[in-house]
Amino acid sequence: MTPNEINTIANLHRMAFGPSEGEEIAPLAKALLSHPETISISVHRGGKIAGNVLFTPFVFQDHPDAKCFLLAPCGVLPEYQGQGVGKELMQTSIAHLASVGTDAVFVLGVPTFYPRYGFVPTEKQTPYPTLLTIPESWMVLELTAGIVDRLDGKTRAIPQFMQPQWWDTSQYD
């Protein structure tokens, strides 16, 4: 990915998340794109990127062979919101992740959006379980049947996500 593409995606997330969160999310997206195992999926409209979602490795320490990813961030430019871009992002990315042998995808997100695509609340640990004050916002999509039942114990995200502020849902209570 070129520096220009990285900046375009970071700027998309800045605008998608707006003034309150965008200034935090854009540098995070840029940092995530520097990780070699990050999967970036974009949807285009009119020759430009209208939406983007990133997936980074998510590891259960007692089950390192399980191929899991953390979904974040997922953003759509404001002028394309409500036009099916988010739906296309989710459908395209789930198909891609399934095609590369992903076992499960986890997300700490909006409890009314992700269930549309098969995500369900999970009691599996986040890296900072005491900061999860909205349990229904921690969800999983199982792509390998039965894998979630076998996963347990402590979890680890890539270094950019191993900061407590990304796991603290109390600001949304």
Distances (CA, A) of 100 to 7, 40, 114, 144, 168: 26, 13, 21, 12, 30
Cα 60 versus chain centre, distance? 16
The whole-angstrom distance between residue 70's C-alpha and the CA centroid of its chain comes to: 5
pLDDT one-digit tens code per residue, 39-92: 999 999 999 999 999 999 999 999 999 999 999 999 999 999 999 999 999 999
Domain boundaries, the chain: 38-172
**What is the value of pTM for the model shown?**
0.96
Choosing among 3.40.50.300, 3.40.50.150, 3.40.630.30, 3.30.465.10, the CATH entry for 38-172 is: 3.40.630.30
Tens digits of residue pLDDT in 12-39: 999 999 998 999 999 999 999 999 999 9
